[in-house]
């Protein structure tokens, strides 16, 4: 059967990662969480007490950073490793979330991660989510999606997600963080978040999670089974 690459871009907290993960499992594809890579770089810098707004200082550390994904056989989920250490939980904290957009504006950071992301997609059969997948990382992806949702709904969803991992933040704090990340992600000069011309837009505001997953699977399967 033909293997395709699927690109999923969109704003923070639209359900991109969870959708991409479920789609990959349903199709037997590899899921690549490009945001996790930017988060892992940010975690490394914060742990080393590097000023994440200082591009020169950030770039000095890039050669010391290795990121891998390894399958957790118990949960059947791919987890993020930073220099050989599992950092899956640490990269999801608010400490990292509140700084990652700054780190991801730097050209050298993007070049390093984009090269890895392209390398991982060579064999096809990949579902990758992020901000620049359809526009920069995989401009020839077989199918591209762009996810959006109302800011109130996104804030609510992120709050529930954080609460599940034991973090209590007010809706206002979460909303402010999401709005700030949207602003930085869409206005940065390096690969800003944009809908690729041919991307299929999915507004998830009024969709259940199952509906949004099914929509992506149906469209992808249509392509996979096409002659």
Q: Considering only the stretches 43-51, 99-107, 161-169, 215-223, report the one whose residues sit in contact with ligand DC under the rule CB under 6 A.
A: 99-107
Residues 131-160 that bind ligand DC (CB under 6 A): 131-133
Q: Checking DSSP bridges between strand 67-72 and strand 77-82, what pairing results, if any?
A: antiparallel
Residue among 31, 38, 106, 145 that touches ligand DC (CB under 6 A): 38
100 binds ligand DC (CB under 6 A): yes
DSSP label of 153: H
Number of residues that bind ligand DC (CB under 6 A): 14
Distance CA 187, CA 129 (A): 19
Which string of b and e fits 11-30 if b means at least 16 CB within 10 Å? Answer: bbbbbbbebbbbbbeebebb
What character string, x for contact with ligand DC (CB under 6 A) and - otherwise, covers 156-185? -------------------------x---x
Rg (CA), the chain: 17
5 binds ligand DC (CB under 6 A): no
Residue among 104, 135, 177, 204 that touches ligand DC (CB under 6 A): 104
Tokens linked to 66: 């290795």
156 Cβ neighbours under 8 A, 6+ residues apart:
171
Footprint on this chain of ligand DC (rule: CB under 6 A): 12, 34-35, 38-39, 100-101, 104, 130-133, 181, 185
């Amino acid at each position: 059967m033909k293997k395709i690459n699927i690109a999923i871009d969109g704003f923070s907290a639209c359900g991109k990662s969870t959708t991409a993960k479920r789609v990959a499992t349903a199709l037997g594809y590899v899921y690549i969480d490009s945001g996790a890579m930017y988060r892992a770089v940010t975690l490394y810098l914060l742990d080393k007490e590097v000023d994440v707004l200082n591009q020169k200082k950030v770039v000095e550390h890039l050669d010391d950073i290795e990121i891998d994904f390894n399958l957790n056989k118990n949960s059947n989920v791919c987890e993020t490793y930073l220099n050989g250490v599992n950092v899956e939980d640490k990269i999801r904290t608010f400490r990292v979330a509140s700084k990652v957009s700054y780190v991801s504006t730097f050209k050298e950071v993007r070049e390093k991660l984009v090269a890895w992301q392209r390398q991982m997609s060579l064999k096809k059969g990949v579902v990758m989510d992020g901000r620049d997948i359809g526009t920069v990382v995989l401009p020839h992806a077989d199918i591209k999606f762009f996810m959006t949702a109302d800011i109130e709904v996104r804030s609510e969803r992120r709050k529930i997600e954080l609460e599940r991992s034991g973090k209590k933040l007010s809706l206002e704090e979460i909303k402010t963080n999401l709005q700030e990340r949207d602003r930085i992600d869409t206005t940065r000069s390096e690969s800003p978040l944009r809908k690729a011309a041919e991307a299929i837009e999915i507004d998830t505001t009024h969709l259940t999670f199952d509906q949004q997953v099914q929509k992506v699977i149906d469209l992808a399967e249509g392509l996979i089974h096409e002659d």
